Amino acid sequence: MKTLDECRVHIDKIDNEILELLNKRMKVVERVGEIKNETGGAIYRPEREKAIIKRLSAKNKEDNGLLNDSAIEAIYLEIFAVARNLELPERIAYLGPEGSFTHQAAESRFGAMSSYLSLSSIQSVFKTIEAGRAKFGVVPVENSRDGVVGETLDLLAKSPIKIVSELYMPIHMAFASKARELKDIKRIYSKDKGFGQCREFLQEHELINIEQIPVESTAKAAILAAADPEAAAICSHIAAKLYGVPTMFENVEDTVDNTTRFVILSDFKNGISKDDKTSILVKLKDPLKAGSLVNFLQDFNNEKINLSKIESRPSKEKNKMGYWFFIDFFGHIDDEAVQRVVNKHAKEVTWLGSYVKEKYGI
């Protein structure tokens, strides 16, 4: 290939081959959907998708391919999303409004073709899945700066819905406005925590004394700024784009490592992937007894099960003073070592879900 036109002709030929292969893949996917409908199998299988991406990344390295792991994952997550909609179109409920970080997280996993349902509260997401009005739900569970989302943990404690997947998403803020210059801005909208997370930016650009109006979400901030030429919004990039507010500055957050962990909720159980994480709720039989928690955790140590998180929450049981413990550990609920611990404490442990472990910060 010596000319640009020759390169383009070659690219067109390859694109035709890719399209033909994708259609062949989707024909197999259709049959998979038929089998799953007959057997009642779950359409979304995170452990299977993870295994495919892992295998392809390894093959790519063997072949000295130009794509990196992130590129392979991005391409195939979209292919998986299209495939799932061919198998059986599913609705995904998320903590809204449209353009929120949770919406962005949901689309990153389920793709642009899926049907999305924006809800005003985390509780509404749980209720919608429980009622069968959506197959999946996406909610935040913790943030690297602000800690756990207590409402999510409390609802997991009493809901039959399980965690089927997790994802970590870096949180980047944009400063968006229809104003021509900074001096024309009279008010700034954002979620209350958004102002605190971008305080250095506001100080550096002499915006710290401008009226700050807290609203329920960064997406709502973008909606208000879109209708007010003298206003600005500290919001997500997707919200600014969605509501037509020009971005004046990108990545205005004070720290670059602000990350939120989201969980995907549904009503099925994942198979073992050998790279799993499990979440449980622990209600100790005698929580006020000295050493009760240490003794419980010692059983995990004896089985060489690594804990990745432990979080206490008030039990909220009537006429009782105590705490529940939310614990994440590496392994699947059906692993033999895990079963030995869980069976020993059957009356104290509630399983919240086992799912493919994701790398922090991607």
Answer yes or no: is 200 within a domain: yes
Task: List the domain range (segments joined by +) for residue 46.
Answer: 20-87
Query: How many domains does the chain fold into?
Result: 4
pLDDT in tens, the chain (362 residues): 889 888 999 999 999 999 999 999 988 888 887 787 676 666 677 788 888 998 999 999 999 999 999 899 889 888 887 887 776 667 899 998 888 889 989 988 887 778 899 998 999 999 999 998 998 999 999 988 778 899 999 999 999 999 999 999 988 999 999 999 999 999 999 988 889 889 999 999 999 999 999 998 888 999 999 999 999 999 998 899 999 999 999 999 988 788 999 999 999 899 888 899 999 999 887 766 777 889 899 999 999 999 999 998 887 766 666 788 999 999 999 999 999 999 999 999 999 999 999 876 43
pTM reported for the whole predicted model: 0.76
- Best CA proximity match to 98, nearest among 248, 260, 240: 240
The residue among 250, 279, 306 that closes a domain is 250
* Last residue in a domain, options 250, 280, 307: 250
Domain annotation covers residue 362: no
**Strands annotated E in 180-332:** 187-191, 211-215, 231-235, 247-250, 259-266, 276-282, 307-314, 323-330
Phi, psi of 92 (to 5 degrees): -115, 120
Q: Are 10 and 1 in contact (CB under 8 A)?
A: yes
Q: Are residues 352 and 275 in the same domain?
A: yes
Let me know whether 293 and 216 are in one domain.
no
Whether 11 is covered by a domain: the verdict is no
Q: Which H or E element spans position 299?
A: helix 292-302
Same structural domain for residues 80 and 98? no
Are 104 and 161 in the same domain?
yes
CATH number for the domain spanning 126: value is: 3.40.190.10
Pair 194, 156 in one domain = no
From residue 356, how far is each of 22, 48, 127, 232, 332 by CA, in Å?
26, 9, 24, 39, 9
344 with 275, same domain: the answer is yes
- The verdict on residue 350 lying in a domain is yes
Is 210 found in the same domain as 181?
Answer: yes
Angle 159-154-48 (CA atoms, 0-180°, nearest 5)? 55
**36 shares its domain with 71:** yes
List the CATH number of the domain containing 77: 1.20.59.10
- The verdict on residue 13 lying in a domain is no
**Span between the terminal Cα atoms of the chain, in Å:** 37
Scored b (16 or more CB within 10 A) or e, 18-33 reads eeeeeeeeeeebeeeb
pLDDT tens digit sequence for 170-217: 889 999 999 999 999 999 999 888 898 899 999 999 999 999 999 988
Q: Are 82 and 95 in the same domain?
A: no
Q: Does one domain contain both 142 and 179?
A: no
CATH code of the domain containing 313: 3.30.70.260
Q: 60, 87, 114: which is the final residue of a domain?
A: 87
**Contact call for residues 268 and 147 (beta carbons, < 8 A):** no
Tell me: do 219 and 282 sit in the same domain: no
Same domain? For 98 and 148 the reply is yes
Q: Could you tell me if 253 and 152 are in contact, meaning their C-beta atoms sit under 8 angstroms apart?
A: no
5 is a domain residue: no
Residue 27 lies in a domain: yes
In a domain, 99, yes or no: yes
